[in-house]
């Protein structure tokens, strides 16, 4: 291991990045750009439930129920007059649920009894269906409370008082923006995989093998070059999250910086393993997308939390660096956790950075001989 | 009569037919070259054909079960049979499992900060007594981890559901307890058991078809360009449209083959029923793949190296995922964002896939997303063709752009001079005034 040879590889890599203004722009600024674009989508959407309402009763009470629904900010209502229309709007996804008020609804309530309302949910999109169920149940309970005062019906036996720690319940944007930071950093990381594959594709690797540069120096140079280049991109990402979208940062900035370096080491290490396995840049792109794109959304705990009781899926989730960094980012930004409280993901990340880099070097050495 | 005209054509084919045959011949030649190039890289070919299947199998088996077994901390301040019944019911749900019993809220909050529990349920003292008395209401407090919005939504929803069950059981046992005047009855259409898997698997199907088609298309021209072989292609009699079509055909074939194989896995392995018609779905997949080819061609025409093309691909893929409504139900957007979101092909395609496969819809309901896909593919192809017409090497682009840039600079200078001139005059007038008196 010679420091001089390592530096010369490092200088060569920086020249590759700096030579093309467009590559430079993409490595430094693309994470922030993608974060802005993604967050714009999330900030603009509201969690409103679109309803198709079919009133078969046409009584004063059913009209009152529909009026309270339309004045509620959680719902937007549309009147329909047959079942077919509800079904086709559900299929075309123009509404989230259908509400049918049967004939005799008003009379049933007036007698002090219970009247039922039918709700047709779209069972395919379970997240939206759950949201619609919750909002409608809450709304019906409020409406029922109004009526029970009027008709002297006893109150319900259990009431749930929900409270959301760290955030008000409606602010899923903060949770999303902080969780997306690891995902947007896959952009410069994959660039490292392609940088390695390009040398092989163009044949410049053979030239390098002929020089006294050793495997560890070569991999180390690439690793340091791309980790530092991505680290520069952290500043715009951080500014975007904090200033543009107002996501609170409650942890320690130094801990965040340290753990980001750790995360980038692990990710670039994984990218270098990919770059070593393939012979062409095209194959490197395909494999990187398979590893970094779909699993990033389904396995990292960004949306569905990891089910730790399932051993196999836990293993696959834990070897991905982004899984741990999602936990770390949310912990530092929203929960104000310290390094002591984040010891588990930090340690895992450290292990992964050592493991993936070692594997990358190992695979590379084998290939040269 | 038809046979006679055919015979005449065979004897002396009209000019247009010869032209078409000529073009078809060239396109076919290019397509064969592409296939040969792909099959030379065995590993790449394996990634493109087997990779999607493996990824779908793996991802589908590992995740896609929705939110399950969230760790819950319980603080039981009542310690009666009723409170233990509530805790047992919470533990029995798919979504929650009771991981820890705490003494006070502070202790449980520390667990939540560590990530050991996702939600805390506090059963108040006198809970059992309040349940037994029809005039009183028991308040159960639930604290959910708001740093993960899906966790908090699911945890709160599950507890509310359990509370509603208990209320229903009490009402049937004791007629004095009320269900309230309004009783909502929920029916889930298309997926009565409310399983999460069909929703997740169809999202994966769309995303995998999307990524494979996009990558192959985006790297095909960028690769030739980086290697310098694109110049060789341009001096052959191959026209611009020939080049685009010849590059698109193998990608289209790969996309459709991957789609059909994955549909097989979905039906056989994951046991998700196909309610609509498979031919219709395959027909609508063609414009979806064509849109990706359009994006890919456009990307590979604006990027100079494969690395740049890959970064563009990934950025586009992220945006498509955001707009697809998979991460966060992105349904209700302000009008401007709604219009932008129409550009997202994955969003349209997921409506189509779920509509046909899970809800059994036909073209009469799905004509809107179908038309949107066809229109998108046309617009992107025209854009790519225009970019190709402008010339690919930087010199030719500069040649075209330099006169326009010079004209713009002249105009800008003109405007600036005029503006400054006027400003100078007013300034002079302004400065003169206070001097005069």
Gyration radius of chain B over CA positions: 32
Average pLDDT on A59-63 reads 86
Coil, helix or strand for A162?
strand
Average pLDDT over residues B213-228: 84
pLDDT bucket at B258, cuts 50 / 70 / 90:
very high
How close does chain A come to B92, measured CA to CA in Å?
A: 15
For residue A314, pLDDT over 90 is answered with no
- Interface check for A71 against chain B (CB to CB < 8 A): the answer is no
The Cα–Cα gap between A315 and A337 comes to 25
- The answer to whether the CB atoms of B310 and A140 lie below 8 A apart is no
Which residue from A minimizes the CA distance to B145?
A165
Q: Is B192 on the interface with A (CB under 8 A)?
A: yes
Residues of A in contact with B63 (CB under 8 A): 298-299, 304, 313
Nearest chain B Cα distance for residue A88, angstroms: 7
Q: How confident is the model at residue B1 (pLDDT cuts 50, 70, 90)?
A: very low
What pLDDT sits at residue A152? 59
pLDDT at residue B426, as a whole number = 45
- Average pLDDT on B286-313 reads 88
The string of pLDDT tens digits covering residues B37-55 is 888 878 888 888 888 888 8
Q: What is the mean pLDDT of residues A77-81?
A: 88
ipTM: 0.77
Report the half-sphere exposure of B223 (CA within 13 A, side-chain side).
Answer: 22
Is the CB of residue B269 less than 8 Å from the CB of residue B64? no
The DSSP string of B50-113 is HHHHHHHHHHHHHS-S-S--EEEEEEESS-SHHHHHHHHHHHHSSSEEEEEE-SSHHHHHHHHH
Ranges A96-100, A162-166, B340-344: which has the least confidence: A162-166
Pairwise CB contact (< 8 Å): B65 & A307: yes
Query: Which of A329, A366, A66, A353 shows the shortest CA–CA distance to A181?
Result: A329
CA-closest candidate to residue A98, choices A49, A58, A146: A49
pLDDT the model gives residue A366: 56
- Give A48's DSSP letter: P
Q: In the prediction, which pLDDT does B2 show?
A: 46
Smallest Cβ–Cβ distance between B41 and the set A90, A187, A283 belongs to A283
pLDDT surpasses 90 at A355: yes
CA dist list (Å): B3 to B7, B8, B9, B12, B17: 6, 9, 10, 14, 17
What confidence tier does A334 reach under pLDDT thresholds 50, 70, 90? confident
Pick among A59, A111, A162 to test the B interface (most B CBs inside 10 A) = A162
Looking at per-residue confidence, does B307 or A369 come out higher? B307
Interface of B with A in 364-423 (CB under 8 A): 365-366, 368
The answer to whether residue A298 neighbours chain B at the CB level (below 8 Å) is: yes
User: Which tens digits make up the pLDDT trace of B66-81?
Assistant: 677 888 999 998 888 8
Chain B residue numbers with beta carbons less than 8 Å from the beta carbon of A54 are none
> Contact at 8 Å (CB) between A150 and B189?
no
CB < 8 Å from A in window 27-46 of B: 41, 43-44
User: What does the alpha-carbon distance between residue B195 and residue B199 come to, in Å, rounded to a whole number?
Assistant: 8
Tell me what percent of the residues of chain B surpass a pLDDT of 70.
83
Confidence of residue B414 (pLDDT cuts 50, 70, 90): confident
Closest CA to B133 of A152, A161, A153, A157: A157
Burial of A359 from C-beta contacts in 10 A (0-12 / 13-18 / 19+): middle
Please indicate whether, in this complex, the C-beta atoms of A124 and B180 are within 8 angstroms of each other: no
pTM greater than 0.95 = no
**Cα B53 to the chain's mean position, in Å?**
19
The answer to whether B178 faces chain A, any CB pair under 8 Å, is yes
CB contact under 8 A, A154 and B178: yes
- Weakest-pLDDT range from A25-39, B119-133, B162-176, B372-386: B162-176
Give me A44's structure tokens. Answer: 């603009």
Q: B287 falls in which pLDDT band (50, 70, 90)?
A: very high
Tell if the CB–CB gap between A144 and B182 is shorter than 8 Å: yes
A41 touches chain B (CB under 8 A): yes
Q: State mean pLDDT over A346-361.
A: 90
- Is residue A299's pLDDT more than 70? yes
Rounded Cα gap, residues A268 and A285, in angstroms: 14
Give dist(CA B324, CA B207) in Å, integer: 10
Phi, psi of B331 (to 5 degrees): -75, -50
Q: What is the pLDDT of residue B436?
A: 43
- For A170-174, B141-145, B278-282, which range has the lowest pLDDT when averaged over its residues? A170-174
Look at residue A167 and tell me whether its pLDDT is greater than 60. no
Mean pLDDT of A199-211: 81
Q: Across chain B, what does the average pLDDT equal?
A: 80
Which pLDDT band holds residue B163 (cuts at 50, 70, 90)? confident
Residues A74, A118 contacting (CB under 8 angstroms): no
């Amino acid at each position: 291991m010679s420091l001089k040879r390592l530096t010369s590889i490092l200088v060569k890599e920086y020249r590759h990045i700096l030579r093309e203004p467009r590559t430079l722009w993409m490595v430094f600024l693309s994470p922030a750009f993608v974060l802005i674009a993604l967050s714009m989508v999330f900030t603009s959407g509201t969690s409103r439930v679109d309803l198709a309402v079919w009133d078969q009763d046409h009584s004063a009470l059913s009209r009152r129920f529909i009026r309270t629904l339309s004045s509620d900010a959680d719902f937007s209502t549309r009147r329909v007059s047959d079942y077919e229309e509800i079904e086709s709007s559900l299929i075309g996804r123009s509404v989230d649920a259908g509400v049918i008020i049967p004939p005799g609804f008003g009379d049933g309530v007036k007698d002090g009894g219970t009247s039922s309302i039918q709700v047709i949910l779209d069972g395919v999109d379970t997240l939206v269906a759950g949201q619609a169920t919750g909002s409608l149940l809450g709304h019906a309970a409020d409406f029922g409370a109004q009526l029970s005062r009027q008709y002297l019906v006893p109150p319900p036996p259990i009431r749930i008082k929900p409270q959301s720690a760290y955030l008000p319940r409606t602010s899923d944007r903060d949770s999303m923006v902080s969780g997306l930071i690891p995902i947007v950093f896959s952009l410069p990381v994959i660039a490292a995989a392609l940088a390695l594959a390009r040398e092989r594709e163009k044949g410049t690797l053979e030239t390098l093998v002929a020089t006294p540069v050793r495997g560890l120096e070569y991999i180390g140079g690439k690793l340091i070059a791309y980790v530092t280049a991505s680290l520069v991109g952290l500043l715009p990402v951080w500014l975007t999250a904090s200033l543009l979208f107002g996501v609170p940062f409650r942890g320690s900035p130094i801990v965040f910086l340290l753990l980001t370096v750790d995360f980038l080491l692990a990710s670039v290490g994984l990218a270098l393993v990919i770059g070593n396995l393939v012979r062409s840049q095209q194959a490197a792109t395909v494999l990187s997308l398979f590893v970094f794109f779909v699993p990033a959304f389904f396995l990292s705990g960004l949306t569905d939390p990891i089910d730790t009781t399932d051993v196999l899926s836990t293993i696959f989730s834990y070897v991905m660096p982004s899984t741990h960094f999602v936990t770390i980012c949310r912990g530092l930004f929203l929960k104000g956790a310290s390094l002591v409280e984040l010891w588990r993901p930090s340690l895992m990340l450290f292990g992964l950075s050592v493991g993936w880099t070692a594997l990358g070097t190992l695979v590379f050495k084998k290939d040269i001989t | 009569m038809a046979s006679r005209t055919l015979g005449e054509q065979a004897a002396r084919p009209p000019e247009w037919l010869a032209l078409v045959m000529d073009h078809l011949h060239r396109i076919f030649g290019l397509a064969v070259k592409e296939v040969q190039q792909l099959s030379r890289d065995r590993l790449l070919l394996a990634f493109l054909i087997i990779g999607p299947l493996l990824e779908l199998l793996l991802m589908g088996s590992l995740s896609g079960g929705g939110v399950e077994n969230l760790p819950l901390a319980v603080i039981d301040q009542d310690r009666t049979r009723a409170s233990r019944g509530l805790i047992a019911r919470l533990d029995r749900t798919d979504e929650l499992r009771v991981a820890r019993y705490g003494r006070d809220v502070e202790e449980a909050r520390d667990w939540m900060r560590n990530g050991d529990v996702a939600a805390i349920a506090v059963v108040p003292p006198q809970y059992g007594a309040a349940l037994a008395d029809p005039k009183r209401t028991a308040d159960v407090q639930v604290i959910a981890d708001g740093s993960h919005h899906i966790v908090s939504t699911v945890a709160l929803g599950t507890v509310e559901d359990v509370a509603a069950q208990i209320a229903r059981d009490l009402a049937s046992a004791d007629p004095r307890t009320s269900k309230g005047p309004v009783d909502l009855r929920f029916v889930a259409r298309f997926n009565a058991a409310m399983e999460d898997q069909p929703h997740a698997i169809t999202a994966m199907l769309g995303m995998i078809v999307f990524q494979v088609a996009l990558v192959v298309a985006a790297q095909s021209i960028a690769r030739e360009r980086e290697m310098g072989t694109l110049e060789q292609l341009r001096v052959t009699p191959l026209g611009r449209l020939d080049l685009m079509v010849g590059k698109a055909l193998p990608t289209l074939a790969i996309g459709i083959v991957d789609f059909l194989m994955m549909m097989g896995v979905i039906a056989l392995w994951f046991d998700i029923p196909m309610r609509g018609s498979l031919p219709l779905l395959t027909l609508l997949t063609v414009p979806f793949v064509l849109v990706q080819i359009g994006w890919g061609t456009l990307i590979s025409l604006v990027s100079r190296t494969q690395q740049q093309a890959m970064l563009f691909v990934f950025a586009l893929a992220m945006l498509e995922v955001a707009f697809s409504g998979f991460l966060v139900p992105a349904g209700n957007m302000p009008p401007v964002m709604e219009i932008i979101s129409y550009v997202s092909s994955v969003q349209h395609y997921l409506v189509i896939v779920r509509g046909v496969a899970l809800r059994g819809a036909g073209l009469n309901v799905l004509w809107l997303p179908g038309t949107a896909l066809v229109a998108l593919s046309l617009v992107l192809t025209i854009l790519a063709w225009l970019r190709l017409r402008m010339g690919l090497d930087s010199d030719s682009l500069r040649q075209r752009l330099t006169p326009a840039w010079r004209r713009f600079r002249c105009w800008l200078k003109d405007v600036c001079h005029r503006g400054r001139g006027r400003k100078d005059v007013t300034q002079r007038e302004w400065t003169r005034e206070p001097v005069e008196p």
